[in-house]
Amino acid sequence: MRLVAQFMKRLRQLGFLRIALGDGRGAEADDGRVLHLFRNRIELKKAFSNAQEEIQRLKDRVKQQEGATARVQELLQGLEARLAQPDTAYQALVFYQLRELWALGQNLLQQFITELEAQQIERERRNFFAEFNRRQFSQRQGVEATCQGAEETAAAARTRVSELERYLAGLQRFWHYFHRRRVRQELHAASIQSLLAEQALGEARSARAALEAEQPNFAGLSVESRRAINLAAVAYAQVLRERLTRTGLYDATYQASGRREPSPGEYGERSRCVRMMNEIQASRAVLEDRRDVLPEIRSRADAYRRLARYRGEADVVPDAASLAPDDSPTSSRVLAEDCWEIYRVLLR
């Protein structure tokens, strides 16, 4: 009976232990679920905060766009009001035709730079690929010669090893003992030479594969080419400036380019406005005339090349002060005055 009582006591203790262990595993599962919910809550709060920030950014952009739209509407209303009045309508027409004349100079300059850049890129790309092909052809000849020599050396080394192995296999008599030892030494040295030859052959083949996989990478125009194009653009801008100056409209065009609307009574009465509009149309033809313009651009660009100074070796836009040291005909104030807003179109 005493043994039975002790056995039952042991069973009850085991039952309590099982219940305690089961409760611990349940508590750990509950803790895991709580931690998972807590992490989800943090992620949701972060996503909600990001969404609120994005909404605020969009609202700010909408307000900015509304402000820009309101300003444009105000300008349009002002333009309509000026065009509705006989004493201001012609002045508005002159003002916007002057602005369009300035835009024409910008477009001509942009078109000129685009054409020069395309021509120079095509020229340098051809030269680059031709030089790449010449260099690769020369390298390929050297690599092929090295690879062929390595193949011949490796083949000779393998043949020598095979011959020594066959010769050694035939030396089976007891009186061949010393001869076998000498042949084994020769075989060992030949095996080392064969391994070295195989390694050299592998390196030669790797070099040939790397050369065949090499692809040309044209990096674009060089610094010298971009400098030459920019100097040619400055020369063309100076030509356009002088042409417009000879028509007497440069100052009025330059002033109109920096404003949104004309000043009251700026261009005079109707008759003077009509005369200015006729002069503007004639000036358009003067600016667009490209006859004999290339020699003049070339001569001016050569003169500017001797004057141009740059702030660094990688800079391609010359210092404005270096092109206008004095009032001589060879100098230019195009960069100093940002004529035709040239800095927007120059290459970088």
Dihedral of alpha carbons 118, 122, 123, 124, sign: positive
Is 70 exceeded by the pLDDT of residue 123? yes
What the block records as the tokens of 61 is 């952009």
What the block records as the tokens of 216 is 């040309």
pLDDT mean over 295-308: 90
Between 170 and 299, the higher pLDDT residue: 299
Q: What is the pLDDT of residues 131-177, one digit of tens each?
A: 888 887 777 878 788 888 888 888 888 888 888 778 777 877 777 77
Q: What is the 3-state secondary structure (H, E, C) of 62-123?
A: HHHHHHHHHHHHHHHHHHHHHHHCHHHHHHHHHHHHHHHHHHHHHHHHHHHHHHHHHHHHHH
Between 5 and 112, the higher pLDDT residue: 112
From the CB of residue 121, how many other CB atoms can be counted at a distance below 10 Å? 14
Going from N- to C-terminal start, the domains of the chain cover 1-84, 89-129+221-344, 130-213
Is 60 exceeded by the pLDDT of residue 19? no
Of the listed ranges 15-24, 209-218, 243-252, the least confidently predicted one is: 15-24
Between 8 and 183, the higher pLDDT residue: 183
Distance CA 257, CA 99 (A): 5
Burial of 322 (0-12, 13-18, 19+ CB in 10 A): middle
Distance CA 228, CA 316 (A): 9
Q: What is the pLDDT of residues 51-97, one digit of tens each?
A: 888 888 888 888 888 777 777 666 666 655 565 566 667 888 888 89
Phi-psi region of 264 (alpha: psi -120 to 50; beta: other; left: phi over 0): beta
